[in-house]
Structure 1
């Protein structure tokens, strides 16, 4: 089989971070949708990795360890996916714990900001959706605001309340790009730029981001992702070729009710690319 045609889904989330399904539930949905190589990439947290790997292997589905690390670059929040690392690496776990450390205070401040805007009880409401209080995120607030009837959908919440410059937005300084790449590589994994089309960088900023990432040892970029429009695939395929990056693919699935791209439903990677799973073949856990 053409390696580019493999139905790999290497970016999705469980309720260990801001998804709504358990790691086992995400594994079952991926398998049912024909995923042939799967990775769970919860935000700044590897606590679901052993469960995800066990569930995948019981279903006969090959598995790669994964995580999505929040990074501050040029004043913006970007995400770096780590794939194929040692789940129990101490330095990675310590670094992720430090990154998570500011989320709780940030969430309380978001609740206060929303209360000042006339929305009471948002912090407590968001907590109801978070299985891990240390990982309360904007997504959890968005679910509460939908439940409360403030907005009709989570995208509407983000547009009106949680995006930069809106009443509930509170910035947080995450890990540095150097931190994220170092932690992933130190644990034996590959660092991959997640959904670069989401960041609204200028061409100069995007070139600087890709250049610094490569200089630090980053090796991959998501080309086909649920967070990219199909007309963006050729652009990021071209950048992967230009920078010599391996190409990745992932739905960025969070929930059956919220995600517009389901697990395993993406288009194949464009031609002329080398997929990340070619380099990571020895790190894939197989049944």
Structure 2
């Protein structure tokens, strides 16, 4: 569904497999610039091989992967949407705001992202110290070896270190046992408020969309009232179609989007081998992508082959 505007067609995202003739638009993926396992160029190549027509690179709190992804996209014929995923904090909950097409030269937004990245790095060391003190076989140098140069460090890198040393076999095991927000090893880090994140993305010429707002794996943390506050601050849409949403969560997101006149998107949240998410498993309608482009300032346009 689109934010209602004159002359705009209302559309609803779908599973990528519904219409083979329709373009597959995946607006939420990660590379080694944050916590994915594919380099930006490998991510674009994987998307091309998976039949993705339009790919958004949305690494956590960084634009470090944009240049490499753009070069690969031009070479491989994939349309690229440059974006970020801003990590925000609301009480004790971590809420993610996708920002599409922001200006990477915007000092305020980039400053907030840098502050969050720096805080996350020191926080990981404290988490590892707590885990090691409790007998979990992990050291901070092991974690650092899992972080690609220039990448944003995060909890998935702790999981990767535990995989590398043979303690677990998959990231999901680490998040079930040790890395949740409710874990005794969890340490907070600086993140902007989700309302402020929407304001920052908008001021940078970008278009904010709330990622997987009602994910079942984190409990009921995002309320309709919070989304209304974010909407007042510039929120453009909700990522309703995501593997962490069941039918009830999709229906709730669609109903709220209708009431507020928000865009509705669908995406994979692909991280490479680090998660089970598959490229293109959910897709966004072309009309929704067009609305995102129309709402951006055009400072960082979509890269077309």
User: TM-score scaled to structure 1, two decimals?
Assistant: 0.89
Tell me if 1:81 matches 2:98. yes
CA distance in 2, matches of 1:262, 1:210: 27
CA distance in 2, matches of 1:186, 1:114: 40
Q: What SS class does the counterpart of residue 65 from structure 1 fall into? A: strand
Tell me if 1:106 matches 2:123. yes
1:149-191 deviations in whole A, cap 9, x for unaligned?
3233211111111113324321223112233112211121100
| CA deviation after TM superposition for structure 1 residue 196, in Å | 0.8
| 1:286 matched residue in structure 2 | 304
1:207-230 deviations in whole A, cap 9, x for unaligned?
122111101111111011233335
| CA deviation after TM superposition for structure 1 residue 67, in Å | 0.1
| 2:288 matched residue in structure 1 | 275
Greater helix proportion: 1
Structure 1 residues 240, 201: CA separation in 2 closer, same or farther (over 3 Å shift)? Answer: same
Q: Which runs of 5+ in 1 are unaligned?
A: none
Contact 2:138 2:161 in 1 (8 A): no
Tell me if 1:201 matches 2:209. no
Tell me if 1:12 matches 2:29. yes
Contact 1:227 1:251 in 2 (8 A): no
Contact 2:26 2:283 in 1 (8 A): no
| 1:258 matched residue in structure 2 | 274
Q: Which runs of 5+ in 2 are unaligned?
A: 1-10, 14-21
Contact 1:81 1:194 in 2 (8 A): yes
Q: What SS class does the counterpart of residue 81 from structure 2 fall into? A: coil
Of 223, 230, 252, the residue aligned with 1:235 is 252
Contact 1:103 1:134 in 2 (8 A): no
Contact 1:11 1:253 in 2 (8 A): yes
Q: What SS class does the counterpart of residue 47 from structure 1 fall into? A: coil
Contact 2:88 2:192 in 1 (8 A): yes
User: TM-score scaled to structure 2, two decimals?
Assistant: 0.84
